[in-house]
């Protein structure tokens, strides 16, 4: 059974709209991991609205009776802002299961802020016709055929990386992580060992990382070092800086590939809409 | 400013509900609502802080000298405010910002901005704002003078409290009417249902007449046309208009130039063009120019 991932949003911080950023994509973070017919969604940036277009109101699959599993790494706007545009929430009978290592009260407080009547035409989570289920994620939890584990990342505020393991293979997703924070990073690297695919934050050039003080994201060089240490067959770098154009990203990707790729190990910059085979 | 020009209006964001990025929305653009109005001798006026404002913030913060900004806000739904915490000038101590925002029944505007800085939702804290920010609140129907520029407000028909804005200078006027739905017994704005209860027809006539008055003779009206006659069915409670409704108001009010705005996220460029065609077919040989708002557009009044 194939294990694949599709990036619906690859951009960090803020939605980025420009003709010269279409290849790597402009929507904020959201990816779906597919194992056979099952899908786990990770994070709900505007990419989730993009994903929802395949579950739009004309699609009978959206008319209710469906269950969607969403895992949240943290609650920065660029990781949750797409949830209110996820079409299945508008249909009764759909169940949205939100998994995260956070306490239920934390999740509902933040999502009620997102759906607050001052910021949206809704009046809190309960004003939507779908059913919301909140699951506090335990280590090595089972979600369908996935075994899901988590590890803290070095970010601004409490944030997690996830490991999704199946009979086919495994993927580690660490979209928001500053690999220069040695203590957390060493532990994360140990924990991630043995995965087939690594999705890793890489927002900055080393100079930008120094100037901006990291802000919870890795430089390209540190991301590559983590890729080496973790040793996944395929590493995907994501959370592209908002104004980084396709040309610049393609050139960096080319240079890093030249430096890193071997017959058994390769890396790419995640592209919106692209489907990658984990195994 | 060019001789003979009173105002320059720049379109920074055109999309409604949420930003979109795809090849088939690039002609009109995918950023959410934001406009810039420049008037000789006055600091820039911005309307709304959708994603269209983000890059503008980076450009503004790159200038070496101290600066002042006026920020008008139509309402606080996400697509109109989500760039504010990412707006670089807020983190410059030599920047002065005055917000002109709708009053709110539930909580005040500064608290809503502060709410975007919840420590779990944004990596910077509200206290990191070093710019001097002042907040002024307005209800529909209020007027004030902004350094010689006449500014007025009108409460629109949209969930919550949403203000239309009219900015007038040297006998030139621009109006921003977004987000707004035709009334047609569909009372969405705060307090409207109650006001309409005794005399629905009277309320509706009064709303329509007042809106026409508000945009009367304007040189440029930017108007919410999220829907078309088909897509508005079953979604009337969302609080948006159609090209047909926008054009009817603009013709009635003797507006010179109508800009269709708040394009639906699912509208590809050709669908925006269909709306434009519909609006233009209503105008015929009457004296109204209709265009669809596109990012990067600059209009000189």
Answer yes or no: do B160 and A117 touch at CB < 8 A: yes
Residue B111: closest C-alpha in chain A:
A118
Of A18, A76, A121, the CB nearest to B122: A76
Q: Running DSSP on this structure, what letter comes out for residue A126?
A: G
Which of A 115-134 lie inside 8 A of B, CB atoms?
116-121
DSSP structure string for B20-65: ---GGGTTT--PBSEEEEEETTS--EEE--STHHHHHHHHHHT-SS
From chain A, pick out residues whose CB is under 8 angstroms from the CB of B83.
14
From chain B, pick out residues whose CB is under 8 angstroms from the CB of A8.
none
Q: Work out the minimum CA distance from A154 to partner chain B, whole angstroms.
A: 13
Angle at A88 between CA A32 and CA A100, to 5 degrees: 50
Q: Is the pLDDT of residue B5 over 80?
A: no
The secondary structure element, H or E, covering residue A254 is helix A246-260
Answer yes or no: do B19 and A75 touch at CB < 8 A: no
Which is higher by pLDDT, B107 or B68? Answer: B68
Answer yes or no: do B18 and A25 touch at CB < 8 A: no
Predicted confidence at residue A89, as pLDDT, reads 94
- Cα–Cα distance for residue pair A52/B236, rounded to 1 Å: 22
- Cα–Cα distance for residue pair A29/A74, rounded to 1 Å: 11
CB A197 within 8 A of CB A169: yes
Q: Work out the minimum CA distance from A120 to partner chain B, whole angstroms.
A: 5
Q: Work out the minimum CA distance from B256 to partner chain A, whole angstroms.
A: 30
What is the tens place of the pLDDT at every residue in B252-265? Answer: 999 999 999 999 99
Answer yes or no: do B266 and A56 touch at CB < 8 A: yes
What is the tens place of the pLDDT at every residue in B135-186? Answer: 999 999 999 999 999 999 999 999 999 999 999 999 999 999 999 999 999 9
Q: Work out the minimum CA distance from B75 to partner chain A, whole angstroms.
A: 9
Single out the residue of B291, B7, B299, B290 nearest to residue B148, CA to CA. Answer: B7
Average confidence (pLDDT) over B119-126: 96
Average confidence (pLDDT) over B284-289: 96
Cβ neighbours of residue B290 under 8 Å, at least 6 residues apart? B247, B250, B257, B258, B259, B260, B276, B279, B280, B283
CB A39 within 8 A of CB A69: yes
Average confidence (pLDDT) over B280-296: 97
Predicted confidence at residue B43, as pLDDT, reads 96
Q: Work out the minimum CA distance from B237 to partner chain A, whole angstroms.
A: 9
Q: Is the pLDDT of residue B1 over 90?
A: no
Kindly indicate whether the ipTM for this predicted assembly is greater than 0.90, answering yes or no. Answer: yes
Predicted confidence at residue B107, as pLDDT, reads 84
Q: Tokens 């670089």: give the residue.
A: B88
Cα dihedral B156/B157/B160/B163 (nearest 10): -10
Residue A109: closest C-alpha in chain B:
B120
Angle between helices B200-215 and B243-252 (to 10 degrees): 70
Whole-model pTM: value is 0.96
The structure tokens listed for A36 are 């056979």
- Cα–Cα distance for residue pair B183/B189, rounded to 1 Å: 10
Q: Tokens 């394009």: give the residue.
A: B263
Test mutation, B12, B15, B19, B21, chain A, max A CBs within 10 A: B21
- Cα–Cα distance for residue pair B193/B233, rounded to 1 Å: 20
Predicted confidence at residue A212, as pLDDT, reads 86
Cβ neighbours of residue B271 under 8 Å, at least 6 residues apart? B228, B264
Of B55, B119, B266, the CB nearest to A157: B119
Single out the residue of A49, A42, A54, A51 nearest to residue A100, CA to CA. Answer: A42
The structure tokens listed for A86 are 């996820």
Predicted confidence at residue A11, as pLDDT, reads 98
Count of pairs with CB atoms under 8 A, one residue in A, one in B: 102
Band (pLDDT 50/70/90 cuts) for residue B46 is very high
Quick check: B102 contacting A, CB < 8 Å?
no
pLDDT in tens, chain A (279 residues): 999 999 999 999 999 999 999 999 999 999 999 999 999 999 999 999 988 876 655 565 567 789 999 999 999 999 999 999 999 999 999 999 999 999 999 999 999 999 999 999 999 999 999 999 999 999 999 999 999 999 999 999 999 999 999 999 999 999 999 999 999 999 999 999 999 999 999 999 999 999 988 889 999 999 999 999 999 999 999 999 999 999 999 999 999 999 999 999 999 999 999 999 999
Predicted confidence at residue A54, as pLDDT, reads 63
Q: Is the pLDDT of residue B193 over 90?
A: yes
Which long-range contacts link A60-64 to residues 24+ away (Cβ below 8 Å)? A62/A87, A62/A88, A62/A91, A62/A94, A63/A91, A63/A93, A64/A91, A64/A92, A64/A93, A64/A94
Angle between helices A182-192 and A220-230 (to 10 degrees): 40
Q: Could you tell me the maximum CA-CA distance found in chain B, to the nearest angstrom?
A: 57
From residue A269, alpha-carbon distances to A14, A17, A90, B250 in Å are 18, 18, 34, 48
């Amino acid at each position: 059974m194939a294990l694949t991932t599709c990036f619906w949003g690859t951009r960090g911080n803020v939605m980025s709209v420009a003709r010269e950023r279409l290849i790597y994509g402009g929507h904020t973070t959201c990816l779906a991991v597919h194992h056979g017919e099952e899908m786990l969604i990770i994070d709900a940036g505007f990419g989730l609205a993009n994903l929802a277009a395949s579950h739009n109101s004309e699609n009978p699959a959206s008319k209710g009776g469906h269950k969607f599993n969403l895992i949240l790494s943290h609650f920065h706007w660029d990781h949750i802002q797409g949830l209110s545009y996820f079409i299945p929430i508008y249909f009764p009978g759909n169940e949205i299961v939100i998994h995260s290592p956070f306490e239920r009260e934390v999740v509902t407080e933040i999502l009620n802020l997102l759906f607050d009547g001052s910021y949206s035409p809704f009046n809190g989570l309960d004003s939507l016709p779908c059913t919301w289920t909140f699951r506090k994620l335990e280590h090595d939890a089972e979600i369908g055929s996935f075994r899901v584990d988590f590890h803290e990342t070095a970010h601004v505020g409490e944030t997690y990386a996830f490991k999704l393991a199946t009979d086919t293979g495994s993927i580690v997703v660490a979209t928001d992580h500053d690999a220069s924070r040695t203590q957390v990073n060493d532990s994360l690297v140990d924990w991630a060992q043995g995965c087939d695919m690594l999705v890793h934050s890489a927002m900055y050039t080393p100079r930008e990382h120094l100037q901006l003080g990291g802000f919870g994201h890795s430089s390209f060089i540190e991301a590559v070092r983590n890729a080496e240490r973790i040793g996944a067959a395929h590493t995907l770098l994501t959370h592209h800086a908002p104004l980084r154009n396709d040309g610049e990203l393609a050139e960096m990707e080319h240079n890093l590939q030249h430096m890193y790729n071997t017959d058994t190990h390769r890396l790419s910059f995640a592209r919106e809409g692209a489907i990658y085979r984990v195994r | 400013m060019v001789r003979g020009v009173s105002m320059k209006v720049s379109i920074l964001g055109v999309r409604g509900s949420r930003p979109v990025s795809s090849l088939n929305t690039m002609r009109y653009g995918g950023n959410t609502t934001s406009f810039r109005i420049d008037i000789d001798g006055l600091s820039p006026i911005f309307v709304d802080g959708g994603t269209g404002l983000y890059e503008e913030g980076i450009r503004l913060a790159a200038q070496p000298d101290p600066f002042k900004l006026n920020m008008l806000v139509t309402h606080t739904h996400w697509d109109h405010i989500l760039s504010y915490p990412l707006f670089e000038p807020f983190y410059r101590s030599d920047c002065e910002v005055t917000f002109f925002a709708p009053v709110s029944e539930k909580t005040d505007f500064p608290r809503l901005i502060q709410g975007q800085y919840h420590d779990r939702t944004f990596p910077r804290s509200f206290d990191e704002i070093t710019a001097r920010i002042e907040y002024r609140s307005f209800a529909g129907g209020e007027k004030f003078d902004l350094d010689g520029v006449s500014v007025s407000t009108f409460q629109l028909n949209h969930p919550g409290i949403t203000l239309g804005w009219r900015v007038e200078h040297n006998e030139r006027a621009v109006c921003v009417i977004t987000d707004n739905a035709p009334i047609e017994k569909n009372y969405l704005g705060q307090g409207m249902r109650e006001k309409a209860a005794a005399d629905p027809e009277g309320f509706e006539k009064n709303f329509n007449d007042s809106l026409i008055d508000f945009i009367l003779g304007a040189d440029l009206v930017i108007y919410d046309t999220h829907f078309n006659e088909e897509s508005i069915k079953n979604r009337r409670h969302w609080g948006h208009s159609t090209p047909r409704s926008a054009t009817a108001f603009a013709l009635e009010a003797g507006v010179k130039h109508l800009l269709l705005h708040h394009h639906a996220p699912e509208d590809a460029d050709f669908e925006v063009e269909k709306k434009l065609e519909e609006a233009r077919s209503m105008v015929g040989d009457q004296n109204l120019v209709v265009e669809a708002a596109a990012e990067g557009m600059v209009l000189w009044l």
